[in-house]
Structure 1
Amino acid sequence: IQALLTPEDAVLSDELNHASIIDGIRLCKANKYRYKHMDMQDLEAKLQDAQKHRLRLVATDGAFSMDGDIAPLREICQLAQKYDALVFIDECHATGFLGPNGRGTDELLGVMDKVTIISSTLGKALGGAAGGDTTGPKPLIDLLRQRSRPYLFSNSLPPAVVGCASKALDLLTESNAIAQSMAAKTQRFRSKMTAAGFTISGNDHPICPVMLGDARLAAVMAEDMLNRGIYVIGFSYPVVPKGKARIRVQISAVHSDEDIDRCVEAFTEVGRKHGAL
């Protein structure tokens, strides 16, 4: 973002974007606008206000890491076209398992030809543990190669990491079985937890936030789950807004149906024990 935008430009950011996007925007000299989370009316108002600037860039997570929400990319792209803006999406929590071929939210929502810039990581679903990528029009990528400070002043990725990520991409290209399996397991967990009486935030994403509200409740329940052999993480302010503490559960393709059922049973026991149900 710092490499692409000047003081004559504007960047419009979802208020719940990942910290890495927020910090990247802070470093740039462009005019900054923040719109309400996935609120298209507010985004349109901000785009109207930003018409006075040379370029406009809408920046959003494809999938939001703390809430499991999927950005309304169709609507974002329509507004971007209407107000002559570029679209940047961060696919770190979507690459590898969302969309028919695991390409991410842009594939899932059918806007692959309307998004200008995509950034992602090799360190999550692709299993590379480090590194990332940025894709876009060739002139833009050429500019990043010349101006992006993290790219210019860092070492290349270790060959082992590149090999691991490359093989993961090969597996995704050869078959969509992993992505389909992940979707089925996610649906199983979300439906069973909802039936048990829990509130699960977000869309059909394998990041499944169990909303509890109280910070201490989230902490003690997560600890009690660990005592039962299930590792989940409690999050509270300042990582998430006050009053919206939660336990974040992340479903993996290697989890079996038995694993998921055991997790739901443990949540039900712990929830009743601590008065969450």
Structure 2
Amino acid sequence: MFNLAARLAEQHQRDLYRSRRIAEGASDVHMCIDGRDCLVFCSNDYLGLATHPDVKAAFIHAADHYGVGSGAAHLVTGHQYAHHALEEELAGFVSRERALLFSTGYMANLAAVTALTDRHDEVFGDKLNHASLIDAAQLSEAKHSRYKHADASALAARLTASSATDKLVITDGVFSMDGDIAPLPELATASHKHNAWLLVDDAHGLGVLGSSGAGSLQHFGMSDKEVPVLVGTLGKAFGTFGAFVAGSEDLIELLIQKARSYIYTTALPAAVAEATRASLKIIQTDSARRQHLHALIQRFRTGAAQLGLSLMPSTTAIQPLLVGEASRALAMSEALLAQGIMVSAIRPPTVAEGSSRLRITLSAAHTETEIDRLLSALASLA
């Protein structure tokens, strides 16, 4: 018999129990959570677009036209004009031949890895990859090898030792728990040398990095030849929901034919696609949002250094404060909440034992005064 009560008790004892908080109102930097007014520093809405008037208006107008559900999978009757237009615009945004929409980033990664590989192949993943990339590799029939975090030399050694028919390297563009950027040029060089394809999940880079917000690849000036498979999510800097895979004409056609998480799921609501088209326009035309966000990142890091806080080395909107033990991270998160500031405590198994942290995320919707308020609160805890 499964002893569920004992398993739950163990989670409590190890300070790893997770509880859902109830948020009221729109997703914003100011929210009512569990009945308490909070200043939020743990959302992935990096550009503050989830509540942008143009994005909301596009959604409302499209819901009136399309309804609120797509009714079927893309290959049945669910593929609407709004989906197709968004795919074409996303492809142009990231300089790819085509893009393919998915309902979640998890499904997009699962689709790309499992459709491309079989039991004769090998997948090479960074040890700190997002869970969706790890699960995609494990669920594929390919051999799964993991290399030392952000270490192109370690990857090259594993590629050299491999006798697989085809090789696929998978990595986050920006790592979701550390906030650091993968060494993509070096990874691309190692991949090319060993005839491997490189897949980059740029969930946390798109919208934030690059001159026009096109992400980590634009940040490094890299082409589709160096990174044949690009995965992006729409629920972070875009402020909406869903995901996409972008690449060559043949790649997208292969996913349409073989990707189970595309074929056998209901399409994203068309209203969400129209809202995303509106947010994409803002990302491309309103560079002031990115500039403000990066100014806030610098302000926060400078202030944290003055306070002697042990921030991890990140230049992105993800600014983790390394704490160590899960119990301490949980206690600090609760202490901040008592001051009206919401920051999540990240604990194992999301991160390694002894590396629990406060995952602080900044948004273009924050003000300098709010950054200073966060720093003051953190100083009181220290």
Which TM-score tier does this pair reach, normalised by the shorter chain?
A: over 0.9
What does residue 11 of structure 1 align with? Answer: 123
Q: What's the CA shift for 1:160?
A: 2.0
Corresponding position: 1:172 with 2:280: no
- How far residue 65 of structure 1 moved from its aligned partner, in angstroms, is 0.5
Cα distance in 2 between the residues matched to 1:200 and 1:243:
15
1:248 alignment partner in structure 2: 359
Residue matched to 1:41: 153
For the pair 1:59 / 2:170, whether they are aligned, the reply is yes
SS in 1 for 2:292: helix
Gaps of 5+ in 1: 272-277
TM normalised by structure 1 equals 0.95
Quote the sequence identity (%): 38
Residue in structure 2 matching 1:140, options 212, 227, 251: 251
Q: Which residue of the partner structure matches residue 11 of structure 2?
A: none
* Superposed displacement of residue 67, structure 1: 0.6
Which structure: larger Rg? 2
Superposed CA deviations along residues 92-120 of structure 1, whole A, max 9, x for unmatched, are 11111111111111111111331110111
Equivalent in the alignment of 2:142: 30
AA aligned opposite 1:9: D
1:196 paired residue number: 307
Q: Secondary structure at the match of 1:2?
A: helix
Answering whether residue 347 of structure 2 is matched by residue 236 of structure 1, we say yes
Output the amino acid matched with 1:131.
G
| Aligned counterpart, 1:127 | 239
Post-superposition offset of 1:203? 2.1
Match of 2:331, as an amino acid?
Answer: V
CA offsets 1:53-95 (integer angstroms, 9 cap, x no match): 1111110000000111110001001111111111000011111
- The equivalent residue for 1:223 is 334
Query: Is 63-72 or 182-191 further displaced after alignment?
Result: 182-191
SS of structure 1 residue aligned to 2:316: coil
Number of the residue aligned with 2:273: 162
Partners of 1:164 and 1:100 in 2: CA distance: 23
Structure 1 equivalent of residue 28 of structure 2: none
Cα offset for 1:146?
0.7
In the alignment, which residue of structure 1 is the partner of 2:317? 206
Query: How far apart are the structure 1 equivalents of 2:143 and 2:377?
Result: 48
Residue aligning to 2:109: none
Query: After TM superposition, where is structure 1 displaced by more than 4 Å over at least 4 residues in a row?
Result: none
Instruction: Find out whether 1:110 has 2:231 as its counterpart.
Output: no
| Larger CA deviation: 168-177 vs 114-123 | 168-177
| Secondary structure, aligned partner of 1:199 | coil
Q: Distance in 2 between matches of 1:212 and 1:175?
A: 36
Secondary structure of 2:124 counterpart = strand
Contact 1:101-1:179 within 8 A present in 2 as well: no
- 2:191 aligns with one of 73, 80, 85: 80
Cα distance in 2 for residues equivalent to 1:53 and 1:106: 27
Pairing 1:20–2:152 present: no
Kept after mapping to 2: 8 A contact 1:70/1:202: no
For structure 2, the 5+ residue unaligned runs are 1-112
Aligned to 2:7: none
- Listed one character per residue, the Cα deviations across residues 120-179 of structure 1 (whole Å, up to 9, x for unaligned) are 111111011x21100011101100001111110111111221111111111112232221
Contact conserved, 1:18 with 1:65, CA < 8 A, in 2?
A: yes
Equivalent residue letter for 2:151: D
Structure 2 Cα separation of the partners of residues 158 and 234 of structure 1: 32
Q: Report the residue type matching 1:80 in the other structure.
A: S
Deviation at 1:202, TM superposition (A): 3.2
Amino acid of the structure 2 residue aligned with 1:125: A
Aligned pairs, how many?
269
